[in-house]
Copies of this chain bind each other. A is one copy, B any other.
Amino acid sequence: MLRPQFVLFGDSLTQRSFDEGGWGARLASEYQRKVDVINRGYSGYNTRWVKHIVPLVFPVSQKIPPELVTIFFGANDAALPDRLSARQHVPVQEFRGNLLSIVQHVQSLGTKDIVLITPPPLDEAARIRHNQQQNEEVSEATSIPERTNTFTSEYAAAAKQLAGELGLPVLDLFTEIQKQKAWQTEYLEDGLHFTPAGNKAVFDLLLKTIRKDLPHLRAEELSDDFPSHRDIDENDPAKSLVSYAKSTSLQAA
């Protein structure tokens, strides 16, 4: 395969990013004919669990490393340690260390461009409703949210701070989404996962981050895979297409 890869690495907020109107699908559309956008989202995973699979998800044997990797965790790590999703909880200091080791592994492949994405804000009232629906009962456990905005804010801050220390671009979704009007209902469908409007906001913000911090990866800077059909010499198509292949040192190996 010829095209550079953008790999989206994360939890369900990444795994579901090709659902209708999803931010991953929008990125694939933006970079059509230029980049393969590869989804490596693992629903429900926290950084403690995902750390074990990082060497398999990003094998060092891969000849051409991803051109860009987004690392988007924290929503599960920030589950509270004494509530319904306690088993997903990871203390914030460990979260930070896990993120660092993920970044270091990805960098060891030769990938230079990494965007850290902070977990988004939570709508606690919607989480309670969701938990009660999932558990089909109102109990002490389902009457309080399993994640809170305050607690998640620490994970967002840790990711942002780490990005700063490492000199990596960061998309601070936690802050940016809360700037929007009625974000709780407009952008989140169950207090945690994105609506189509929320997905569009994530895409717009990610694109803004790329355009600002990684201008060499703007879509208009990347060439199409093979020439425009308008540039093919209809009397000698082989010439147009073979010379392109040579100019980009592609080989029909």
Contacts and interface: CB of A to CB of B under 8 A. Distances in A.
Interface of A: 1-2, 15-16, 18-22, 24-26, 28-29, 32-33, 36, 38-45, 48-49, 52-53, 55-57, 59-62, 76, 87-88, 225-226, 228-230, 232, 234, 237-238, 241-242, 245, 250-253
A233 to B, nearest CB: 10
A245 B250 CA distance: 33
Nearest to A42: B226
Given A59-B253, A238-B52, A32 B25 contact: no
Contacts of A225: 40, 42
Contacts of A1: 38, 59, 62
A20 B29 contact: yes
A119 to B, nearest CB: 16
A211 to B, nearest CB: 20
A33 B60 CA distance: 21
A56 B252 contact: yes
B48 A237 contact: yes
Given A18-B25, A29-B19, A32-B15, A53 B226 contact: yes
Nearest to A33: B15
Contact of A21 (B20, B45, B62, B245): B20
Contacts of A26: 20
A228 B11 CA distance: 12
